[in-house]
Amino acid sequence: MRPGSFGSGVAVVAMLAAGAALGASREANRADPIVGEETAVLTDAPNVPPPIHRNHATRVVVHLEVKEVEGQLADGVRYVFWTFGGRVPGKFIRIREGDEVEFHLDNHPDNKNPHNIDLHAVNGPGGGAAASLTAPGHSSVFSFKALNPGLFVYHCATAPVAMHVGNGMYGMILVEPKEGLSKVDHEYYLMQSDFYTQGKNGEKGLQPFSMEKVIDEKPEYIVFNGAVGSTTGDKALTAKVGDTVRLFVGDGGPNVVSSFHAIGQIFDTVYPEGAMSAPTHNVQTTTVPAGGAAIAEFRMSVPGTFILVDHSLERAFNRGALAQLKVTGPEDKLVYSGKQFDLVYQPEGAGARAATGERQVVLAPAARSKEERIKLGAEVFANNCQACHQQDGQGVPDAFPPLAGSDYLNGDKIRAIKTVTGGLEQPLTVNGKGFNGVMPAWTLSDEDIANVLTFVYSKWDNSGQEVTPQEVKLHRVTAGAKETKE
Amino acid sequence: MGAAAVFVVAILAVASPAAAAAGAERGGLVTIPPGLYTPFQRVKAANSGETEAQAPEAIAAFAMDRAPVTNAEYLGFVTAHPEWRKSWTKTLFADGRYLGRWPADLDFGHAEAGDRPVTDVSWFAARAYCKTRGLDLPTTAQWEYALADAGRDEARVRARSLEWFSRPNGAGPGAIGGPVNGYGVGNLIGLVWEWTEDFNAYAITAESRDPNGNDSAAVCGGAAAGIADASDYPAFMRASMRASLKANYTADMLGFRCAGGAP
Amino acid sequence: MTRSRALKVMQAFAAVAALALGAAAAGPGGWPGSSLYNLESRWTDQDGGSVALDAFAGAPVVVAMGYTTCRDICPAIVADMMWVERHLPPGATSRVRFAFFSFDSEADTPERLKLYAESHGLDPRRWTLLRADDSAARELAAALDVPWRPNDRNGFDHAAVLTLLDGKGEIAFQQRGTQASSDELLGRLKGLIAKGE
Ligand SMILES: [Cu+2]
C-alpha cells in the first residue's frame, strides 16, 4: 500500500470504507477465556501503542502513575498539570476486547492530591472510580473485563471533578475489536481539552487554575495534546503522499465539545464517537463530545501542511486548538492544481477583494500620543490580526508569517502600509521562511491602520517606530472604509 | 506490657514540660468561641431518596493549635515514645512511608525542617501525639469551623487554597507562622493537609459523583450525599483527601494539629 | 531551646527508653505488625467481662461493627454473620468466633447487648457482643476501615463491613456491603480452617 500508482488510492479508500460493524457481543467477550498475561505498552501522545495481533484474550497488567507536574501550556505560560503518566493527555492504553485488565493506579508520593480513574471502557460503578480513590503515595488495584470494543476516554473523577479534569486528567484506552483494525501507515493520538488559567490567554508565568472560569465554562486555552503548539512546526504529525493515516481523537473537556476538522483533507472513514459498529464515510467535520472520542481514517493524496482544528474557529486561531500534519511527496495536479491563474477580479468599484467585513467601521478616536496609539492599536490587532498572526505575533509556521521580529515588516514602513491596506498574495519570505498564503486587504481607517502598525512595531522586539494616519493616507493601496459616525 | 508501660509513663511525665515549652514557643493553643457550623456534605436519610439539607451543628468552645505540629515537636514525642519511632512502628499504625523524610529515628534532617509541619504521619501516630498533650485531633467539624472563621475573608481563603493546589510540588511544606485568621489560627491552608479525628466520617461513599450517595445494602443510617456549595472547590478537595485516607496512611503533604475541649 | 540542645536532651531520653523497651519492638503479644491485636483498647462483653482484642487470638474470627438500635443495616450485617455460621464446615463450629463491636458507647450497655444476643438467638459459645468508650470504638473502626459518624437521629451512619481475622489478628478478607450469601468470606474462612487456624 505504498505510494506510487495513484490508482491504488481507490483500493485504499475501498478497504477503509469496507469496515462493517466490528467486535463481538458482550456475552461472548465475558466468556472469552483468558490465556497468558502481558504488561501493557503505554505511549505518550501523539504516539499509539502497536496494533494487537493476538487471536485470544489475555490478562493485561496496566500500571498508570498519577503525577502532578509543572509544564508549559503555551509559550512562556507555565501550569501545574495533574497527569496520568506525566504528560497531558494521559498515556494511551491499547487492549483487545475480551481482555481482562488488572489496573494499578499509582499516586506518586510527591503529589498533593488524591485521585482516581473512571475508564469509559469499564462496565461497573464509576467506571473504576468507586474502586480507585487513591491517596498520595498509595496505589489502588482493580480489574475489569473489556466487554465492548471501541475508543474510550478515561479521566479522573475525584471531586471536584471539573478541577481534576481541568488540570489535565484524561487519556484514552482503545479496546480493539477481535478482527483488529485495518492496517494503516500511521496511527496518531490527538486529544483536545480546555484550560482555565487565572491570567488571560497569553499571560506569562506560572498560571494558577481559575475556579470561576471553569464554573462559567470560559476557557482561556483550548488545545490539542496539552499545550498550544504541541503538534505544530517540528512537532507536527508526518506522513507521505499515498500513506493511510488513522487519528484517534479524543476530547477530555472538561467543558468544550470539539468540531474536529482537517483543513484540506476529507476523512475517508470515521468511527463516530469511537464506536466500532457504524463507520461513516467521506466526512468533513466530526463532533467529538467532551468525554468522548472518534476515529478518523484517510489517505493522503497530495503533499502539504494540513491543519487540524476545532472548526469552532476562534478556538483554533485564538486559543490554541490547532495541530499540523505535514505530508511530503509528489504533487498530483489532477487532485489539486495549486493556484493556476492570478487574475484581477474587478466587479463594481475598487476594493472589492478587500476584507470589509459586515460591520460599519466606526470613526476611531484619534490618538493624541504614541502611547495612546499603541493602546488603541492593541485593540485593532486583537480584533483583526491576532486570529492569524497570533497573540504573541509568532504567526503559525507554514501558514501565517510572524510579525514578531519580522524582517519584512521592520525593513520598510511604507511597504508594511501597502501590505496591510492592499493585502498580499505573492509568495514572500519572512526571516528566511517562505510563505504563500493570502492576506486580505484591510479597509480600516487611516487612524486604525496607523494605530495597529504602531502597536505591532512597539511589540516583540520590533523596531518601535510610529506610523501616522498621514503616512497611511499617503501610501495606502485601497481606499479606507467610509468613516461614519454612529 | 507491665513494667515497660509504667516506664513509658514515667518518661512521659518528664518529657511533657519540654513539649509544652516547645508549644508555647510558637504560640500553642488558641481558644475558638462557640458557634454554628453547617457541614459541607449533606446527608441522605436512611431509606429515603431525598437529600436532606444538613442542619447546622452547634460547636462548643474548644482549643486548637495555632499551627500544625512541627518536626521539632514531633521529635520530642518520638524520643519519649520509642514505639512511635519510624523503625519501631507497626504497619497497623503507620504504613511504610511513616516519617519518610526523616533520615533516622531521631533525626528530622536539615535544621530548617524543625519549624516545618511534620508530615508522613498516620492518624494513629497523630492521635497518640495529641493524647500525650491531653488533647485530641480536631473533629472535621471543628477544623472546618476554624477555617470558616465566621465567614471572614471567605473569598481570599478559597483563592489561597486554589493557589496552593496550583503550586508545584517539590521540597515539601514551608515553615509554620505568618498571618492568623480572626480566631488567631494560622496555616490551616497553604502548607499541608491535616488529619481530623473523624476523617473517615464522610468516606462512606467513594464515588463522589453520585448525588444519591450509595446503595442501601452497604450503609446504615445515611450517607454523605450532595454538598452545601458546589462551587466551593477547596472544600471538595479537602473532603476527597479525607475520603482517600486510611488510618495507617501517611503522605508527604499530610500533617496535623491538636485540639481539645475549652481550657 | 536550640536544636542541638534539644537533640542532646532527647538522645538522653532515647538511651534510657531504649533500654527499658528493647523487647517491645515485637509488640506486647508478639503479634505481626499488621495484626489488629496490636490495639490495646479494652472492651466489655455482654456478660460485663473486660476483654482485650487479643482474647480472640488463636482461631479465625468474623468481626463487624454496628449498634443494637440500628434498624436497617445492622440486622443485615448480623444476618450475614449468621449465614456464615450456618455454613461452617462440621468440626469448625466450636473454633470460629463471631464478634460484634458497638459504636454506641452510651446506649449499648452489657445488658442491652445481652438482650440483643438473646433476641437474635446468637449462641454465646460463638458470639461475643462488645462495647467500649468512644475513643476505642473510633480506633477499632479506623483499623478496620469502617467509615462512621454519629447522626442527628440518635444513631450512627456507617458502612457495612464484615472482616475475617486469622488466628494472629491479621485481616484475611473484608466484605463491604451486605449480601444474600457471603460466599467469598465463607470460602476464605474455610481456607483458614483447612490451614489449621
Ligand atoms: Cu485527579
Contact B200 C28 (CB under 8 A): no
Count of B–C CB contacts within 8 Å? 150
Reported ipTM: the value is: 0.81
Average pLDDT, chain A: 86
Select the residue of B158, B210, B252 nearest A137 (Cβ to Cβ): B252
- C151 marked among binding-site residues: no
Contact A136 B253 (CB under 8 A): yes
Task: State phi, psi for A260 to the nearest 5 degrees.
Answer: -80, 130
Sort residue B153 into left (φ over 0), alpha (ψ -120 to 50) or beta: left
- A138 marked among binding-site residues: no
A276 touches A321 (CB < 8 A): no
Cα A177 off chain centre by: 27
**DSSP assignments along A80-113, one per residue:** EEEEESSSSSPPBEEEETT-EEEEEEEE-TT--S
pLDDT band at residue C178, thresholds of 50, 70 and 90? confident
- A186 marked among binding-site residues: no
**Residue B12 in contact with partner chain C when CB distance is under 8 A:** no
Contact B209 A70 (CB under 8 A): no
Other beta carbons less than 10 A from residue B45's beta carbon: 17
Instruction: Domain A1-336: state its class.
Output: mainly beta
- The predicted-structure confidence for C63-100, as pLDDT tens digits, reads as follows 999 999 887 788 889 999 999 999 999 888 889 999 99
Is residue A348 predicted with pLDDT exceeding 50? no
Report the pLDDT value the prediction gives residue C12, as an integer from 0 to 100: 40
d(CA A463, CA A406): 10
Give the closest residue to A413 by CA, choosing from A351, A481, A463: A463
Chains touching chain B through at least 3 C-beta pairs below 8 angstroms are: A, C
Is residue A14 predicted with pLDDT exceeding 80? no
**DSSP assignments along C136-182, one per residue:** HHHHHHHHHT--EEE-TTSSEEEE-EEEEE-TTS-EEEEEES--S--
- The predicted-structure confidence for A166-221, as pLDDT tens digits, reads as follows 999 999 999 999 999 999 999 999 999 999 999 999 888 999 999 999 999 999 99
User: Distances in Å between the alpha carbon of A187 and those of A19, A51, A120, A481?
Assistant: 17, 9, 21, 49
Give the closest residue to C7 by CA, choosing from B118, B102, B108: B108
d(CA B82, CA A8): 78
d(CA B61, CA A120): 48
Q: Radius of gyration of chain B from Cα atoms? A: 19
Q: Where are the extended beta strands (E) located within A303-351? A: 304-310, 322-328
CA of B189 to the centre of ligand 1 (A): 19
Boundaries of every domain in chain A? 1-336, 354-475
The alpha carbon of residue B167 is apart from the nearest alpha carbon of chain C, in Å, by 30
Establish how many alpha carbons lie within 13 A of residue A310's alpha carbon, considering only the half-sphere containing its beta carbon.
Answer: 29
Contact B168 A110 (CB under 8 A): no
Report the pLDDT value the prediction gives residue A486, as an integer from 0 to 100: 30
Q: Which of A252-256, A479-483, B187-191, C68-72 has the lowest mean pLDDT?
A: A479-483
- The predicted-structure confidence for A392-404, as pLDDT tens digits, reads as follows 898 888 788 899 9
Residue B129, all three cell numbers: 501525639
Residue B144, all three cell numbers: 472546618
Boundaries of every domain in chain C? 35-194
Q: Where are the extended beta strands (E) located within A214-274? A: 221-224, 237-240, 244-253, 258-263, 267-271
Is residue B138 predicted with pLDDT exceeding 90? yes
Is residue C165 predicted with pLDDT exceeding 60? yes
Report the pLDDT value the prediction gives residue A325, as an integer from 0 to 100: 94
Select the residue of A134, A136, A157 nearest B252 (Cβ to Cβ): A136
Chains touching chain C through at least 3 C-beta pairs below 8 angstroms are: B
What residue type is assigned to position B53 of the chain? A
Residue A378, all three cell numbers: 492593541
Report the pLDDT value the prediction gives residue B213, as an integer from 0 to 100: 42
Do the two chains A and B touch, given a threshold of 8 Å on CB pairs and at least 3 pairs? yes
Q: Which residues contact A336 (CB under 8 A, 6 or more apart)?
A: A301, A302
**Residue C26 in contact with partner chain B when CB distance is under 8 A:** no
- C158 marked among binding-site residues: yes
pLDDT band at residue C195, thresholds of 50, 70 and 90? confident
- The predicted-structure confidence for A313-341, as pLDDT tens digits, reads as follows 888 888 889 999 999 988 887 777 766 65
DSSP one-letter code for C129:
E
Residue A353, all three cell numbers: 477583494
d(CA A338, CA A234): 24
Residue C110, helix vs strand vs coil: helix
The alpha carbon of residue B163 is apart from the nearest alpha carbon of chain C, in Å, by 30
Is residue B222 predicted with pLDDT exceeding 70? no
HEC string of A53-75?
Answer: CCCCEEEEEEEEEEEEEEEEEEC
Q: Which of A365-369, B17-21, C180-184 has the lowest mean pLDDT?
A: B17-21
d(CA A9, CA B76): 77
**Residue C25 in contact with partner chain B when CB distance is under 8 A:** yes
A354-475 has which fold?
Answer: Cytochrome Bc1 Complex; Chain D, domain 2 (1.10.760)
Residue C43, helix vs strand vs coil: strand
Is residue A452 predicted with pLDDT exceeding 50? yes
Sort residue B64 into left (φ over 0), alpha (ψ -120 to 50) or beta: beta
Name the more confident of A21 and C33. Answer: C33
Q: Which strand (E) or helix (H) includes residue C79? A: helix C73-86
CA of A314 to the centre of ligand 1 (A): 29
Residue B249, all three cell numbers: 496512611
Select the residue of A70, A79, A215 nearest B231 (Cβ to Cβ): A215
A66 touches A82 (CB < 8 A): yes
Boundaries of every domain in chain B? 10-68+133-261
A444 touches A476 (CB < 8 A): no
d(CA C61, CA A339): 84
Residue A30, all three cell numbers: 465475558
Q: Is C35-194 a CATH 3.50.30.40 domain?
A: no
Per the document, the length of chain B is 263
Name the more confident of A125 and C139. Answer: C139
Task: State phi, psi for A413 to the nearest 5 degrees.
Answer: -65, -40
**DSSP assignments along A132-155, one per residue:** T-B-TT-EEEEEEE--S-EEEEEE
B3 contacts in chain C (CB < 8 Å) = 20
Nearest CA in chain A to B167: A80
Dmax of chain B from CA atoms? 56
Other beta carbons less than 10 A from residue B90's beta carbon: 19
pTM: 0.72
Q: Which of A16-20, A102-106, A406-410, B111-115 has the lowest mean pLDDT?
A: A16-20
Task: State phi, psi for B38 to the nearest 5 degrees.
Answer: -100, 115
Average pLDDT, chain B: 80
pLDDT band at residue C29, thresholds of 50, 70 and 90? low
